[in-house]
A and B are shown apart, each in its own frame.
Chain A
C-alpha cells in the first residue's frame, strides 16, 4: 500500500480552539485510491481533522499538501473546487429541496454556462442542464434512490438522507471523498448497503475515500489503512491487522483507566 502515490499528506498539524488543543502534532498521509479510516474515541479530534482537510479550519501549525501542492490559507468553499467532497456527521442536506435538486446542487461547480442563458433555460444552458441531469440520474441509479427522486429530503428517513448526502458528494466527481460517520444511526441492513456503496465508489470510480466511523467491525472490513487518534494525538497508523494488535489502541478502546 505504501508504494502508492500520496494524494494528501498532513504533516505535524496542530489545531486549538482558544487554548484547548483539538489536534496535536499529527502527521499521516492518504494514498491515491485507498480507503483510509480515521478512528478514535469520542473527542479524539476526528471531525476536527476532517474539517482541517477540507479547509473549514486552519491549523495553527503544520502543513497540508494535496495532490503534491502545499496548501496555503484557503476559503472553506475552495476545497470543493480542488476535488474534495464531504458528508457530515449530522447530515447537512438542503432539507427543503428534492433529492434530485440536492444532488444537482453538488454539480454547482461543474456548471458554467452564463447566467443569461440560464435565466431563459435556452441554448447552451439547457444542454448543459440536461447533461448534468443525466449525470445525477446515474448517481440516483447507482445509489438505488429512484423512488425518492422528487421527495423533499427533509421528510426522508435518516438512512436515506445519508444516502442522498453521499449522492451529492459523488455529484462533485471528487478525487477525495471525506465521510464523517457515514453509518451512524443505521441498522445492520442499511450499514451493509452503505458499505457496498463505499466499496463500489472506491473500486469503480477509483475515488479515494477517507472516513470516520465508530463501528469498528465496519472499519476493519472496509479500509485499507487506519489512523487512530486519541485526545488529538496519533497513537497508531497502519493496516487493520496492525492496528487491531496495537497495545495502545487496545488500551484506548478497551477503556484502561484514563
Chain B
C-alpha cells in the first residue's frame, strides 16, 4: 500500500508519521508542499506541526499551498486523506471537513495521553477494530473543535463524528474533555468518510516503550482495511 506524507514548512511530525507508516508496512513517500503532483497513493497524510509558523489561523497558509489542489482533487475522487493535529487544522481550513479549531479552553498547550471512543466504524479508518476505546496522545494549542448548530446537526445526521474524548471506560462526560471542544469531539469525517481529521497523534503510540501502543492497532488495522 502506498502512502504520501506532505511536508509543509514548519511541519514537525512528518518524520514520525513516516516512521509509523513504514513500521506497519506502508510504502511511504515524503511530498514537498511546493510540488504540483501527488504521487500515486492509497493514503495521503497531512502531519502535525506548525505549518508556516501558524502565525495566522492555524493551517490557513498551508491550505493555500501548491500541493493542496491535487490533494483536494484526490479527496474529492474518494481518496483517503487523514489530517493529524495541524493536519486536521489544515483540513478545516480547506473546507474538506466542517468546523473550526479554536484555542484550547484554558489557553495552554496540552501534551498528554487521552482516551478516545470511536463513534463510527463504518469507514476505512476504523472498521474491523475490535475495541472502541483507545489511549492516544495529544499535543496541541488549538484543538478546541467548534461549529455552528446547523453544521453540528448535519455532522450528527451524517454520523460524521469519528472519535470523542472520554475516560478509560468510554464515558464521554465533559470532565474528560481536555480542550473544551464541542461535545468532546476529537476527530471528524467528511460526509463520505474518506477524509478524517483528528487532534490525537496515533503515530506517537506505536511502541510499548513510548506513551503506549494503541497507535499500533490503528495503523495495522488501517493497512488491512485498505489492502
A binds B: no
